[in-house]
Structure 1
Amino acid sequence: MNKIEKEPSHTYTSVAESVFQVERSAWNNCANFIDDNRNIGNPFLSHEFFSCLEESGSVSKETGWISQHILLFEEGNSLIGILPNYLKNHSWGEYIFDQVFANAWENAGGKYYPKLLSAIPFSPVAGERFLIKKGYSRKFVIEKLLDALEDLKKFYKVSSAHINFINEPQLKIVLKNKFWFERNNIQFHWSNQNYENFEHFLSKLSSSKRKTIRRERKEIHKSSILIDIVKNDEIKNYHSKIFYNFYLSTIEKKWGGVYLNQKFWDLLIQYLKNRIVFIFSKQDGEFIGGAINLIDQSTIYGRNWGSIKDIKFMHFEVCYYQAIEYAIMNNLKKVEAGAQGFHKIQRGYLPTKTYSIHNFSNNNLSLAVQKFLNSERTQIGKELDLLMTKSPYKLL
């Protein structure tokens, strides 16, 4: 028998200009985040993660991320829904690239910034964007939060509102509103098909791909490189300092921006230690590279990686193969390795469609973007089909 989901007759919304204006337990009840040995809930949606961003100053007015979190209450001041949201004057740190819209509109004499963005800053992690307290109607809460987002858009007189990396169930609810447009992207995820161990996984690959992975791992294993997995209470304060240097090395190599400062990483291991898995590589007792992963009850999320030495295949071992082994050993269903990198397919990570949705205040801009996105979605679909033909798995 289906449970009846609540649709309160009296609700109201407000905007929090800081995550610290929201009680941690109330936020996490909506995010379905329970920080215990069951690892329930996506850590990127937790009050703790947003606190790390804000307390460190990585998210602030100075960095162009002004918190405008939309809160939905039922009568009696009980928080039942949240839309994490920001007022932004740039498009950095989003992993959904809308500069093509911005440039077109600015060239036409319009003003694209500021804009509103609902997302997890600096984290291309798909999932729920509307955080809904258990027992309440998803459709009801989403529609109320969308109405509040529209009001906020009008209040600030911004060009647009965007919701990045929303999951498919919530996407379908939002798209019933004809004023929102869907955009697709591709990430690479590994799926655990009840593998007993890494060799069991390899047995499902084509012979050539299996040999390649074994050769790459053998090169690492016969070298002087040791892999060190650090988690839970094994994590010490110095690990965040070590990893920050690796993070900076990657930024320098890619000419990127340092979005997350040292204080962020210090706070992350303070607030979310039980959700972190560091995978470090060592040589002669020295840390030379590492990746940080976050986990929930079903997924290990590969986030950032860096190294101070360029050693062949070390990146594959630390970021891909060790993550797969960890998932198998801990009965996790998925490894999310993020966007970019055709090379991930050959290592068992298959292309997966992700979603974002966009709404524009100006009709001309709205029509132009709609036309562009219709064409882009077709191209993404073709690219996804082509990538799937490169699957390393044996045909059944």
Structure 2
Amino acid sequence: MPQSYTVEIATSMAAIDAAEWDACANPAVLPAAAGQDPGERYNPFISHAFLKAAEASKSVSALVGWAPAHVLVRDSARRLTAAAPAYLKSHSMGEFVFDFGWADAYRRAGLDYYPKLVVAAPFTPATGRRLLVSPDAGEAARQALIGGLRALREKMNASSIHVNFPTRQDWDDLGAAGFLRRTGQQFHFVNRGYGDFADFLDALASRKRKMIRRERREALAGGIDVERLVGRDITERHWDAFFDFYADTSARKWGHPYLTRPFFSMVGETMGEHILLVMAKRGGRLIAGAINFIGSDALYGRNWGAIEDVPFLHFEVCYYQALEFAIERGLKRVEAGAQGEHKLARGYEPAPTYSAHEIADPRFSAAIAQYLRRERAQSDLALEDYATLTPFRRDGGAPQEEPEEDGV
């Protein structure tokens, strides 16, 4: 007899049992479709602890335009078999998949683009599973989850569904279900079995190797020290200082910080072993910092800030310290967030990102589909161009050193 499923909507992560959610989000084993990577086994941004902290800290709420509406699929025994972290949005901020032009076109046509339904990890441009189907559930559970998203969109009279930064497998499944597919680019460090940071430098062309050594040296000139903190080593003093750095940088970039101060204490308490905090200090005074989240495969650089303008300190704290940590831990890659072509020269390589979209209005859906076909072609060309700009040696031989020169 076929399994029957029911769909529920939870307006708070606190209403969802953490063990049930995490059994779908980060199970011990992830099955893969033929020839595809299912994603990493533990991704911090879809964990119950991360999503609950975002809500409990008021970083995410209807008041800030992120109304939680998580879609849950239960089997006939009331077991949670699939879920999706979903939010009704009244704006397009904090998503890093930009649809402002689509919203403007809706407005000019006299239609409402908001609310829209977004499936994502809030404020987090990091790839991960979005259709959180339990490994022991069948394809019917996945289809019930997609059907639940569509039913919620219709019930709330939302214009559209947007699934941001899914894995390639989720992207393909959503495409097969009729969603429009979009691509983008980021820059990721790929750990090719390096023994240490010096081993990584040996893989670079001589000029880039010298540039990185010079940047690291100059970043730490003038008595600056950098420390890496994980778990219990991170104290409230560190969070206080880091939030000041983060809030200052966020105010200059976006006008206000997305994440509240309590969020950092909450994630530090509930998932501290999955957090790397890199802090720089001069004479004992903390002056800059970057927060990273640790997955089973990847290190994710998220937020940075500083109260002193020190040349190259951003590169040291955000990029080079992250690379060293990932190499030491044997992590496969470092994802340092959205955008940033300057990462190419520092050992980060182009990588595709994905999103999937369903537009309720068939006229706009057809127009956006046409636009996305052209955009995907441009994205593919950009990835090819970026791949020619990586700093790695192409001779395959031993690294050759050149004399040090002044300047960068």
Class of the TM-score when normalised by the shorter of the 2 chains: over 0.9
Q: Secondary structure at the match of 1:71?
A: strand
Q: Percent identity?
A: 39
| Matched ranges for 1:160-171 at <5 A | 160-171=160-171
SS at match of 1:90: coil
Which residue does the alignment assign to 1:201?
200
Q: Does 1:25 align with 2:24?
A: no
Deviations 1:326-362, CA, capped at 9 Å, x for gaps: 0111111110011111110000001111000000111
- In the TM superposition, what is the alpha-carbon distance from 1:43 to its structure 2 partner? 1.1
How far residue 11 of structure 1 moved from its aligned partner, in angstroms, is 1.3
The CA distance in 2 between the partners of 1:141 and 1:357, in whole Å, is 19
Amino acid at match of 2:13: V
- 2:104 maps to 103
Distance 1:146 1:222 in 2: 54
Question: CA contact under 8 A between 2:168 and 2:354: conserved in structure 1?
Answer: yes
Aligned partners of 2:217, 2:127: CA distance in 1, in Å?
33
Count of equivalent residues: 384
- Cα contact 2:27–2:135 (8 A) shared by 1: no
Secondary structure of 2:266's aligned partner? helix
Q: Measure the CA separation in 1 of the matches of 2:251 and 2:284.
A: 25
Shift of 1:8: 5.7
Structure 1 unaligned runs (5+)?
1-6
User: 273-282 or 213-222: which moved more?
Assistant: 213-222
Match of 2:306 in 1: 307
- Would the aligned equivalents of 1:33 and 1:43 in 2 still touch at CA under 8 Å? no
TM-score, length basis structure 1: 0.94
Judge which range, 284-293 or 127-136, deviates more: 127-136
Gaps of 5+ in 2: 29-39, 397-408
CA contact (8 A) 1:298 1:332 kept: yes
The farther-off stretch of 184-193 and 216-225 is 216-225
1:1-396 alignment, distance < 5 Å: 9-32=3-26, 41-137=42-138, 139-178=139-178, 180-395=179-394, 396=396
Whole-Å Cα distance in 2 between the matches of residues 209 and 95 of structure 1? 29
- Displacement over 3 Å in runs of 4+: none
Following TM superposition, by how much is the alpha carbon of 1:253 offset from its aligned partner in structure 2, in angstroms? 2.7
For 2:365, what is the secondary structure of its paired residue?
helix
Whole-angstrom CA distance in 2 between matches of 1:221 and 1:100: 43
Deviations 1:202-230 (A, max 9, x none): 11111111111011112134431101111
**d(CA) in 2 for partners of 1:119 and 1:296?**
17
Query: Which residue of 2 is the match for residue 3 of structure 1?
Result: none
Higher mean alpha-carbon deviation, 57-66 vs 286-295, is at: 57-66
Contact in 2 for aligned 1:33/1:46 (Cα 8 Å): no
Amino acid at match of 1:320: Y
Output the aligned Cα RMSD.
Answer: 1.5
* DSSP-derived class of the 1:175 partner: helix
The alpha-carbon deviation at position 153 of structure 1 amounts to: 1.3
CA displacement at 1:182 relative to structure 2: 0.7
Tell me the distance in 1 between the aligned counterparts of 2:172 and 2:103: 26
TM-aligned CA deviation for residue 324 of structure 1: 0.5
**Per-residue CA distance 1:13-33 (angstroms, 9 max, x = gap):** 111111111101111111126
Query: CA offset at residue 236 of structure 1?
Result: 1.3
| 1:269-310, Cα deviation, whole Å (9 max, x unpaired) | 111111111001111110000000010222110000000001
Partner Cα distance (1:160, 1:170) in 2: 18
* Distance in 1 separating the partners of 2:151 and 2:46: 24
In structure 2, distance between residues paired with 1:231 and 1:207: 33
Which residue of 1 is the match for residue 404 of structure 2? none
Could you tell me whether the CA contact under 8 Å between 2:231 and 2:268 is conserved in 1? Answer: no
Instruction: Output the CA distance in 1 between the equivalents of 2:41 and 2:166.
Output: 19
Equivalent position SS for 1:96: coil
